[in-house]
Amino acid sequence: MNIRENIPLAPLTTFRIGGPGRFFCVVTNEAELVEAVIFARERELPFFVLGGGSNILVGDEGFDGLVIKMGIMGVNIHKKIKNPPSLNLASLGLGTPPFSKGESAAKSPFEKGGVEQSEVGDFTIIAAGAGEIWEDFVSTTVNQGLYGLENLSLIPGTVGAAPVQNIGAYGAEVSKTIILVRALDTETMKFMELTNEQCQFSYRDSVFKNQKGRYIITRVDFNLLKSGEVNIDYKDVREYFGRLVLRGEASLVARPRLAEVRKAIIEIRTSKLPDMKKWGTAGSFFKNPVIPATHFLRLKGKYPDLPGFVQKDGKYKVTLAWILDKICNVKGFAKGKVATYGRQALVIVTEPGATAKDVYELARELTERVRIATDIEIQMEVEKVGV
């Protein structure tokens, strides 16, 4: 494995900001991953796993440790099981003990490289290497007529990072489709296969995020449906198909097909999100806050249109873009080379020459304005790397 020194990290991120990584390597299999972690440990250096760099902000001084770029990938359908009597995941070596003991004897299919697919009646279990580009993987699943990931089309990044913050969009969350995550537990230096439950998924959160640095994901197994139902309940998606019906381009009664939903999501996202060729960005910079019901009702009394969605625990998730736009009036608010995006205030965009310090200054100001106006402490969704 080739370990290089002083590698600029800015071009490897979508913000295109930040200093170099002191050491840098690309791992293409699990043995190289182990080697990389041992390299860092022997030198008492921190390490950071880099996917597509679309949810991080690298500090201006860079990262004083080892950056491990995840490159375990490939697409290779090689295992099909037709019509077994029942969905027995254990027989596939997926999702059940011995994983609960913390470790699995199953080998990663990516020793050979690739995506592994097994069909079990109506279910299709499809496994992808952590370095696969998320959007390419979603495209593959939709092209094969598999339901489950279509609403997550066009999210930048890699397959391995998707469980980390439990990516979500347009009424879908990736956790609903994940059956198992294979990862190196850097505490024990053993590979584990974590069930969906063990991943502890919640809104933009998981065990991979709240035990930062412990697990390095090498493969994700998804459980997708051969004959599913599309989910077009989300407001923007409903409105998109409503417009098609009005123009006579879609039927009022027939439900849109899988590929049509993917096309809709791509068009909606393209019209709402910044052009990454033009701007540096990491998408939504902050998380939507989840606040107690009493707090929500107090705000709702003052701002009757404030959108809020009740959660399982009775708290409310509120739409921060609405607060930034309608209460704080900061949509398109610029400070030097950094601004909130004119069409979506939750997204921070940068011009060439902007620094991480500039971004943090704007973020601090937005945080303060939201706190003063609503008494809500907002939190970054984007992760700080280095200083």
Ligand X SMILES: Cc1cc2nc3c(=O)[nH]c(=O)nc-3n(C[C@H](O)[C@H](O)[C@H](O)COP(=O)(O)OP(=O)(O)OC[C@H]3O[C@@H](n4cnc5c(N)ncnc54)[C@H](O)[C@@H]3O)c2cc1C
Question: Which residues are identified as catalytic?
Answer: 204, 284, 381
Instruction: For the CB of residue 174, give the shortest distance to ligand X in the complex, in Å.
Output: 8
Among residues 106 and 276, whose Cβ is nearest to ligand X?
276
Report whether 59 contacts 384 (CB < 8 A). yes
Joined together, the tokens standing for residue 383 give: 């992760």
Among residues 145 and 307, whose Cβ is nearest to ligand X?
307
Q: What is the DSSP letter of 326?
A: I
When binding is defined by CB under 6 A, the residue of 138, 230, 282, 328 that contacts ligand X is 282
- Size, binding site for ligand X by CB under 6 A: 33
Cα dihedral sign, 217-221-223-225: positive
d(CA 303, CA 63): 43
| Binding of ligand X by 153 (CB under 6 A) | no
| Binding of ligand X by 160 (CB under 6 A) | yes
Report whether 306 contacts 288 (CB < 8 A). no
Contact segment (CB under 6 A) with ligand X among 103-111, 163-171, 307-315, 319-327 equals 163-171
Among residues 155 and 250, whose Cβ is nearest to ligand X?
155
| Binding of ligand X by 281 (CB under 6 A) | yes
Going by C-alpha positions, the residue among 26, 52, 48 that lies closest to residue 385 is: 48
Residue 142, φ and ψ in degrees, nearest 5: -65, -40
| Binding of ligand X by 65 (CB under 6 A) | no
Report whether 196 contacts 69 (CB < 8 A). no
Which residues in the 192-251 window bind ligand X by CB under 6 A? 208, 216-217
Contact segment (CB under 6 A) with ligand X among 75-83, 119-127, 159-167, 228-236 equals 159-167
Among residues 275 and 313, whose Cβ is nearest to ligand X?
275
Report whether 47 contacts 40 (CB < 8 A). yes
Among residues 183 and 318, whose Cβ is nearest to ligand X?
183
When binding is defined by CB under 6 A, the residue of 48, 63, 285, 341 that contacts ligand X is 48
| Binding of ligand X by 14 (CB under 6 A) | yes
d(CA 320, CA 302): 16
- Residue 65 CA: distances (Å) to CA of 38, 169, 188, 297: 13, 33, 21, 46
| Binding of ligand X by 51 (CB under 6 A) | yes
260 to 279: interface string for ligand X, x by CB under 6 A: -------------x--x---
Contact segment (CB under 6 A) with ligand X among 25-33, 43-51, 95-103, 257-265 equals 43-51
d(CA 160, CA 183): 9
Instruction: For the CB of residue 375, give the shortest distance to ligand X in the complex, in Å.
Output: 26
When binding is defined by CB under 6 A, the residue of 18, 59, 129, 156 that contacts ligand X is 156
Residue 345, φ and ψ in degrees, nearest 5: -70, -15
| Binding of ligand X by 165 (CB under 6 A) | yes
d(CA 6, CA 192): 32
| Binding of ligand X by 18 (CB under 6 A) | no
Contact segment (CB under 6 A) with ligand X among 20-28, 44-52, 102-110, 117-125 equals 44-52
When binding is defined by CB under 6 A, the residue of 29, 55, 175, 206 that contacts ligand X is 55
d(CA 249, CA 240): 11
Token pair 């937005």 is at which residue?
366
- Residue 232 CA: distances (Å) to CA of 174, 201, 240: 16, 23, 9
Q: What is the largest CA-CA distance in the chain?
A: 65
| Binding of ligand X by 321 (CB under 6 A) | no
| Binding of ligand X by 63 (CB under 6 A) | no
d(CA 65, CA 115): 31
The helix (run of H) or strand (run of E) holding residue 169 is strand 168-169
Among residues 238 and 278, whose Cβ is nearest to ligand X?
278
| Binding of ligand X by 280 (CB under 6 A) | no
- Site residues (CB under 6 A) for ligand X? 14, 48-56, 70, 130, 155-158, 160-162, 164-165, 167-169, 208, 216-217, 273, 276, 281-283, 383
